[in-house]
Structure 1
Amino acid sequence: MDMNDSSLFNTPDKTNFLFNAIPIPCFIWKNLDEEFILFDYNSSAIEKTKHKVEEIKHKKASLIFRDKPSILRNLNRCLEKKVSIKEELPYKPFTLEEKDFLQIYYEYLPPNSVMMFTKSIKKQKEIEKRYFKTGDKYMTLIQNLPLAVYSVFTDVNGTIEFMSKKFEYWTGYTLQELYDDPKLMYNIVHPKDRRRFVDEYIKAFKNKVEYSCEFRIIHKNSEEIRYILDHAIPIFSENGDITKYIGMVIDISEKYYIKKRLEESEEKFRKVAEQSSLGIQIVQDGELKFINEKALEFSGLKKDQVQSFDIKTLAKFIHPDDREKVVNQYNKRIKDSSKKYEPYEFKIVNKEREVFWVESQSKKIIYDDKEAELIILVDITDRKKIEQELKETANLFRSLAEQSSTGIQIVQNNILKYVNQKWADIFELELEDLMNKKASSMQKYIHQDDLEFIKKQMILRKINPEKAKNRYEFRGITSSGKVKWIDIFYKDITYKGKPASFITIVDITDKKHVQNELEQVSKLKSDFLRRITHELKTPLISIKGYADFLLEIYGDELPFDALRIARRINEGTKRLEDLIKELMEASKLESGKIELDLEKEDLVFLIKFTLRELQPLIEKRSHKIHLDLHDSLETFFEKEKIYEVLNNLISNAIKYTPENGDIYIKSEINDHSYIISIKDSGIGFTEVEKKLLFTQFGKIERYGQGLNLDINGSGLGLYISKELIELHEGKIWMESHGRNQGSTFYISIPIRKSN
């Protein structure tokens, strides 16, 4: 059978038919994700390997042939070039019981596979060796050796007596070309190695010794670089001169690349180890073979101080409390055949007497061809400090919780994981009866009128936490049947690594009683204000009517003193009328019975209208008004109510700013509101005075302070303004840096696109 006839495997039918009929072991390697996988094998392979081949089915070729890179190269070359390849090599795969000499054929199998045939030629090689001195067989053996053999004269031209065909494969030149021009051998040597190649040859020739040199050669066509070992022995004439060298050239590329990868791996390991935040040590036969900078930090020593350290010396840097534990662990690992061990923690004390907590993780490795122990030290000092702080915090929390006047509960998966004594006391329960009980069992201590509301909140906390209330009040029922008002607060926390709820309760029963009494007092106050304003309104109308009558009918006839008194009565009734009006409005606002009639209006227009209404007062006080307003600020509000607010704030700025003052009115727009600021250069407010603003009857007394101000007012204006702005879902506030520093009042009105 011709192994090079790939047409045998053109179709699946032929492949299936012939595959198991092939009398020699055959393997199909499929390329998946740039890795060759053993996809299938024939019955001859199973028989030859005594079924061991079944253990490596679907395994990677890179693992199976890691010690034979030539096989990997030929697999890739066969697939890439789509060519047939033949190879002979001594090899002992683990599937065979003894070393064999294999002849391997590689055949491309579309679209992404390679079929490998293996044939044992061990007996053939043994026969060739037996008849080594026989001419034709000797030459055949020479030509098929995995190394190149040559004989070269030491004349000026370096005449070649003999070269094996391996040189053709390695150099790209034919043997005839090399025989005709021996200098071509110099050309194939890598330019960087030529000087050394010549020097080594001349040195050996002068000293009449064997010649040996490692260098690179370059294929003239493919420019493939091959690392070789050239070794030759001199042949002497009768007079002791070297007449020629007989040598052999071995391809050491595989060895070189393995060595280079090992060196690169070792260098990478050292670089990574030196930059690592982990302490790394390698201990072999009780001696320290390697230690990185981080591990040195733990001891406070320099590298040259620990070169000859053994395990007993290193033990001196272990905290006395942990020394015995660490030594026992080390001895245990020496006796244990396991490759990896459980990590453990201990303390290290450096030469400065500083203490570090470390976690030690170790693993057995091969270092310089011998078993050693790789020890990784992780600095866990910060973690230990945090653990200690958490422990102290937990103890502090527990102490505070036990002494707290607030009931505290931690609920996880509907189980009461923690309950303090105060919680038990509020519901008149025994603490031990609550621990690790279901949280739902507490429902029986909730008032029936509040139970549905609380159930709804609990469901919301599970399905839509954003809509659930974190704080609310309800009525609880104690074990003796008492009704208590409870203020409850929820917060989501992590407890022992899992989600949980932190819940606090406060008994507000007494507070509720006081609150109810205050509400009754407030209601009485409101009723009193309504009644007193109504009672004052009737006689006030009569007094004002008579005063107007006297001034209109008899004004020209009254004596000067009587006329002055009548006018004062009239002015007093107007002020009293304004006060009663403000009292009635404050009472309505407090009752919450006012409903707004919102219309789309322009805030800028209303400000300018208010200024026109107050122009006589502005001129009287000789103030300058500075406007910084937008052209238009449209939104929905009740014009009369906002006019009342603007009138109150601007008139206050006019009245409480000494003559010839400056008043600045400015508009701003933020994401959701229009903001109006009214800044004056008046007398400002002290910290005590600020607290009185926006309260009922919070009038600040200016009389008798020598201020040139209009000091009339009820003290209800700012309170009414605040209530009206908040009724529009806006805000009102004030800023002042103190006496004679002026003040700025702000109002914000929501921007509404519709009513």
Structure 2
Amino acid sequence: MDEEISIMLPDHYHTLINSINEMFYVIDRDYNVILINKIMNDNLKKLNLDVEPIGKKIFDIFPFYTDQHRNEYESVFSTGKELETSEFTVINNIKYHTKIKKIPVFLKGEVKQIITIVNNISNQKEKEQKLLDFVVKTEKQNKELKILNKIIALGNESNNLQNFLENSFDIILEQIGFEKGSIYLHDTKSNQIKLVFHKNLPPDFIKAMKDLDLSSEPWNSIFKKEDPVIIEDFSTFNLKELETDIKTTLILPLQARGEFIGNFYFWSSHLDTYNQEQVDFLINIGKQISLIIKKFQVEGKLKEIEKKWNALITNSPDFILIVDRNYIMKFINRTFPPDLPEDFIGKSVLSFAAIDTRKTIKESIDIVFNYGTPYSLEMIRELPAYGQRWFQIKILPIKSEGQVIETILICTDVTENKIYQDKIKESEEKYRTILEQSILGIFILQDNKVKFTSRGMAKICEFSMEELNTWTVKNLTDYLHPDDKENVVQRMVRFQQLDPNITPQNTYRIFTKSGKIRWLNSFTNMIHYEGKPAMMVLALDATDQMEAKLKISESEEKYRTILEQSIVGIFIIQDNAVKFTSQGMSKINEFSIEELNSWTIKDFNDTLYPDDRERVLKRIAEFQQLDPNITPLNTFRIFTKSRKIKWINSYTNIIHYQEKPAMMVLAFDATEQMEAKLKILESEEKYKEAYNRVNFYKDLFTHDINNILQNILSSSELLLLYCKKFDFSENIKEKINVIINQIDRGAKLVENVHKLSNIEESEINLEPIELIQELKKAMINIQEGYAEKDIEYHLDSFEEAIDVTADKFLIDIFENILINAAKYNDNAIVVIEIKISRFYQDNDKFIKIEIIDNGRGIEDIKKQLIFKRTEQTEIIGSGMGLGLSLVKAIIQKYGGTIWIEDRIKGDYKKGSNFILLIPEVDKDS
């Protein structure tokens, strides 16, 4: 009869049964399946179970059914009551959570069939478990965070390192449940590990630990470990004579920035085990304590540095002042007696300056405050009992967060130097007379003009001195031989740039006024002429060298007078003895001319720097052997009479002196030049190191911040799902959505900062980019990102496809501007009109893009600030400044520009017009 009922069910009942969304089947009193719906049947196929269940026993179809299932069915058959159960089953290595309802079917008052409804709740169970895990993890993290914050607070509040160590040690003991412990710190000066604190340890234990050789095993290995060490056998420490109840030892290493600081030791009389989470927590505690210990150590060093710095300033021979923006003196290290420093503090620096110099001093301080660059000036001050004094004042900026907050004035008394300079100027006229009569051709060039010419130069090039003194550098280069012009001009530029690698000697050809070609041997040097930098060129006519040698021989005494007064150091060595020495050489090596003229070659060699001696002696030998391949120029070091080390640039040549071959050495003091070169090289290395470190921390910061934002985002989204499922209030959901939106903004800010940094530091690879396609992509992205807003685009372009010179960041430019147009717009319909046209500027072809919106607009005062990355952009609007500074940086890399106008001229509230000029690809080139 039961089978008849099943078979006789009308077709529309079968259709109705198969439309039910839950799995179910019907069994008879013999546990045979008499009815099953389509969903149940499809799931059997997925599980590779019996796909033709009708007529088969339920226990054959589901082999994992147990006696418990049979008893449940028997209970329903016998009692006639519904039964609902929840089950966990693993089928084909897949976990299933199901809720099963067994419903009796009565025929003539007896239960003849059971309808079984199966509801798969695996996803619900999985979500519930994840939420539970999240809550447990959050509670644990909050607890650990409180402990870390407590330790950080101790580090900030403690007066000294010992106090901090004792208090933080108690916190950890309480957290891990240990009874006793000790702290060992690494003394970097002695490179030893020392016990600095202990708690609840008996005297014999402390003594035994102090007597340990910590460089031996297992201690040496333990101290070198970076992770916590747990030892459950105290015999490991080889302290057999020590009676103790210790069973577990926990060792927490202290390291900061890769530097070993010390260890925390915790001792317990019971056995403990630690999982990885507990170990990770201890590692975090160790890192935080290590940083605080390092902080105490660094603060101690800073105090020492500050003490030394104060002593240095106090004892400085210069007058050092600190002056604020209102010209008030905050500090002064010393004064002229009988005045005292405290008489000046809190008063205006201008009130102590002479009346006629106050304006100059005020303007100079203003320059440093306004531009943030050092400034120098000189002034005269009449002081009672000291007379007229000259001061050189250097004004240096003191900055905080990029802004000048105060200035340092370093006042140096240069009165003696001024007197000396006046004497030099007085003797200059004497030397001018000598130089004008010299057969040496002398040019002094300053501000691209000839400032002085000797008669010797007029004679060489056949122009009068009057003509030469009206020349510019262009006139001079016009008379250079074409084959030598480029070389001479380049050398002049390098001299003006103070290139330390340029040699002073050169040989080249010129045209005289009559068109003759003459060879010149020249020596070029940068000098100070009339208080300003100038280039001095000494030139000799080398056209007829033999004739020149004869003339030099005939007028030896004349040249001796000139050479003895020259700043160039000159040696003439003949027969291994010094035959002639100039005053310049005496000044360089600090020996008198009488001493130098008594030297042999050995005395000369003894002054050579050891590292350079072999090379110089070898070159001397090669010159004496008339080696044609040896170059006359050389650079080496010498010891002066006072044992100072000086660098020498030399020019060596074999000459005839008193009718015999001799070696002449022209020497120039290059000490300042070489030291500056070495400092530049050292500075370059430091710059490269600092640059790499900044990039490392920048990438590390970007990576870590993104990870933190992602973790917060995942937790917020999970919490939002939980709120929706359990019907939390809309206020809570709204707050969570605010969090998610702020995370998105934070991620975008990090991305923009990273992009901007990379754009500023790297070369952009420009290529032809199709502008319209990139613009439309950006329009679609903004339309989707601001789906809650009604945005209308109106695109008007002179061509359908336009290639511009740009790169992959072009779409970022458009998205940034379109986001501002949509975001800062209060209208019901956001209207964005885009006009594209061709624009010519200085014969260059650009594409002009105008993006016009009907938003809030931008005030005139903010139109320039909006593209700057400073604190001023805070007044513009949240998030806008950095994005547009990125836009401007990218466009400038393209060779283009960007600016903002009002949509309706004179009324900024009607909207903005962002105008971009981007170079167009020249299809004809």
What TM-score do you get using the length of structure 1 for normalisation? 0.31
- Larger RCO: 1 or 2 (CA < 8 Å, sep 6+): 1
What TM-score do you get using the length of structure 2 for normalisation? 0.26
Structure number, greater radius of gyration: 1
